Amino acid sequence: MEQWVYLNGEYLPQREAKISVFDHGFLYGDGVFEGIRAYEGKVFKLKEHLQRLFNSAKAISLNIPLSQQELQEKVLETLRKNNLKNAYIRLVISRGEGDLGLDPRKCPHPQIIIIADKIILYPDELYEKGLEVVIASTRRNIPSALDVKIKSLNYLNNILAKLEANLKGASEAIMLNQDGYVAECTGDNIFIVKGGELITPPSWIEILKGITRDVVIGLAKRERIRVREESFTPFSLYTSDECFLSGTAAEIIPVTKIDGRVIGEGKAGKITRLLMRKFRQLTKKEGVPIY
């Protein structure tokens, strides 16, 4: 079905929502984005996503010509316009039209795009069976070159890792930082369980500080599961009792094979299943109402 797309203050039918070929988002990946979910008529963690979007924009000196409150209202309006209760929302701010040079000063009009659509998820059975993943040889960008805390339109680092996974017949790739410590996946954060404790790479390492990651940590603590934010190497992955990924699109999804090594019992572990259940309950309960 054709969707209505928000583009700089207007709602356009999907086919008419077009961006200039001179837009630096397209030419150089100069821009920022967010992926957000709505569940049962409520937008999950909307304020947190908007805050992260504004921080990403600030970091690249991109001025969003709306306040956070105004942008929130546009997101809700886009969902209403499309009659959506359950949705995947893509918020994109690009540098806008310029000339063929890099200079962002020549792009006076940032473009604001909001796409709201139905979400395509991993098949249900994978939430039982778990994913088979590989460790990519492509390392995560270093912060002194391009800080991965910026959720920018430049995702080639992640796409190169994803390609490696695809070529090896896996659906996802784990990325290490330059020092060989586990960072995250191409669009998800990573957790392991060992001896009843939940461990995830700390936020100072080269990861996007996932909003789902924060929710998972909060849920685990409430369930009195000990949580450690600590760096670890692939050895800890291979020898973990459970492993799962967290992200807005995938939510919580178990990992049951890493580089051919079976993790735990080769299916979703106990703590993973508990957190999956608690997470789903929370998404039904919390959020900014659309209607």
Residues in the site for ligand PXG, rule: CB under 6 A? 35, 158, 184, 187-189, 208, 210-213, 246-249
List, in sequence order, every residue forming a beta bridge with 227; answer none if it has no partner: 198
- Give 111 or 212: the residue with its C-beta nearer to ligand PXG: 212
- 270 flagged as catalytic: no
State the minimum distance, in angstroms, from the CB of residue 143 to ligand PXG: 14
What is the full DSSP assignment across 170-210? -SEEEEE-TTS-EEEESSSEEEEEETTEEEE--TTSSS---
Shortest spacing between CB 113 and ligand PXG, in angstroms:
15
Angle of the 46-59 helix axis to the 211-222 helix axis, nearest 10: 140
Distance CA 7, CA 63 (A): 16
Q: Give the helix/strand (H/E) hosting 216.
A: helix 211-222
The nearer residue to ligand PXG, 248 or 283, going by C-beta atoms, is 248
- Evaluate whether 211 touches 246 at the Cβ level (below 8 Å): no
Nearest distance from C-beta of residue 155 to ligand PXG, angstroms: 7
The four Cα atoms 105, 106, 108, 109 give a dihedral, to 10 degrees, of -120
CB of 79 closer than 8 Å to CB of 116: yes
- Shortest distance in whole angstroms from residue 280 CB to ligand PXG: 15
Question: DSSP code of 15?
Answer: G
Q: Nearest 5°: phi and psi at 217?
A: -60, -45
Residue 214's H or E segment, with its range, is helix 211-222
Residue of 151, 270, 278, 285 marked active site: 151
| Tokens describing residue 258 | 């890493």
Q: Which residue number, 111 or 189, has a Cβ lying nearer to ligand PXG? A: 189
Distance, in Å, from the CA atom of 247 to the CA atom of 61, rounded to the nearest integer, reads: 26
Q: Which is nearer to ligand PXG, 3 or 189 (CB)?
A: 189
Identify which of residues 97 and 189 has a Cβ nearer to ligand PXG in the complex. 189
- Looking at the Cβ atoms of 23 and 184, the one nearer to ligand PXG is 184
Residue 73: how many other CB atoms lie within 10 Å: 12
Q: How far is the CB of 206 from ligand PXG (least distance, A)?
A: 10
**What positions carry a catalytic annotation?**
151
